Amino acid sequence: MNKKHKILIDNNTLLKIINKSIEKKIPLSVVRKGDGENVIIGFKSIKGIGIIKYLKKLRHFNIKRYDIKFQKYFRDELLDSFYNSDYLGIAKDYSYSSVRRFDYEITNYYNLDKKNLIDSHFHLEFSKDPNNNNLINPIAQKLISNKKVGIVSHFDITDFLKYHNSKIVCQFSVPKRDAGLFNKMTIEKFNKIKKSIINVKEEIDIWFLAAGAYAKPFCNYIKQNNGIAIDIGSAIDTWVGQYHSRKYLREMINE
């Protein structure tokens, strides 16, 4: 049987902590360590994370297989974001993929078990009800309502947030997953987004990030820039009525 770390902070408690951080303007970074991130930081360090898994994730993240400089840079950026996070999401359920079973070992290897550990699927509290424009969790809905918001995502969620009386102050995006040969991520593109985030001077209550593995270091930079950053991942898909990208999202419309 696979060992698992005990998650002591439940989702509602976390959402209340986020709300208090907004009220008191306390910088915060909440990120999730998923399969892709585990492969990037586990390759060459954890037995079982091999070259095939690694190359597959490079393709998903639009990283050239021979761009070794950026691969090393991005790996360090991921680890930095995990170490500097206030709350780190880890796998609660190992049934979703073959990579999940390595989560415990990787978390221990990098001493991330000392962090405030949360369920990596906490972001589903931000999912929209398939039947209306409300979120499934009323506390999460409070967090997206009546706010000045920063977004890192390619989705246009202006109308959805306007429905909740919130305004997007600024938005940045990275290439979509598997974006192809001519839309690769590079150090230059990565640092351009990083610089754009750091240079934001407008007052923003909260940032929501849905940028795959890149969301993690960007959350870190937002916190360093005195902001509050929440890695909500695929939950943002539901804000535009899309439930097909993940199995757990499809299950929401089949209930």
Q: pLDDT band for position 16 (50/70/90)?
A: very high
> Per the domain annotation, does 82 fall within a domain?
yes
Q: pLDDT band for position 67 (50/70/90)?
A: very high
Res 51 pLDDT > 60: yes
pLDDT digits (tens, 9 = 90+) for 101-120: 999 999 999 999 999 999 99
pLDDT at 178: 66
If you compute the radius of gyration of the chain from its CA atoms, what whole number of angstroms results? 17
> Per the domain annotation, does 1 fall within a domain?
no
pLDDT at 1: 46
Res 135 pLDDT > 50: yes
Res 98 pLDDT > 90: no
> Per the domain annotation, does 2 fall within a domain?
no
Q: Across residues 61-84, what is the average pLDDT?
A: 96
Res 63 pLDDT > 80: yes
Res 233 pLDDT > 50: yes
> Per the domain annotation, does 4 fall within a domain?
no
Q: pLDDT band for position 42 (50/70/90)?
A: very high
> Per the domain annotation, does 44 fall within a domain?
yes
Tell me the C-alpha distance between 53 and 64, whole Å: 15
Question: pLDDT > 90: what percent of the chain?
Answer: 80
Res 153 pLDDT > 80: yes
pLDDT at 11: 97
Tell me the C-alpha distance between 92 and 118, whole Å: 8
pLDDT at 94: 75
Q: Considering its fold, how many domains does the chain have in total?
A: 1
Res 5 pLDDT > 60: yes
Task: State the average pLDDT for the chain.
Answer: 92
Closest to 185 (Cα-Cα) out of 40, 30, 28, 35: 40
Tell me the C-alpha distance between 93 and 158, whole Å: 33
> Per the domain annotation, does 6 fall within a domain?
no
Residue 179 belongs to domain spanning: 15-253
Res 173 pLDDT > 70: yes
Measured at the CA of 230, the angle between CA 192 and CA 155, to 5 degrees, comes to 65
206, 90 contact by CB (below 8 A): no
In the chain, the amino acid numbered 210 is: A
> Per the domain annotation, does 133 fall within a domain?
yes
pLDDT digits (tens, 9 = 90+) for 209-224: 999 999 999 999 999 9
> Per the domain annotation, does 213 fall within a domain?
yes
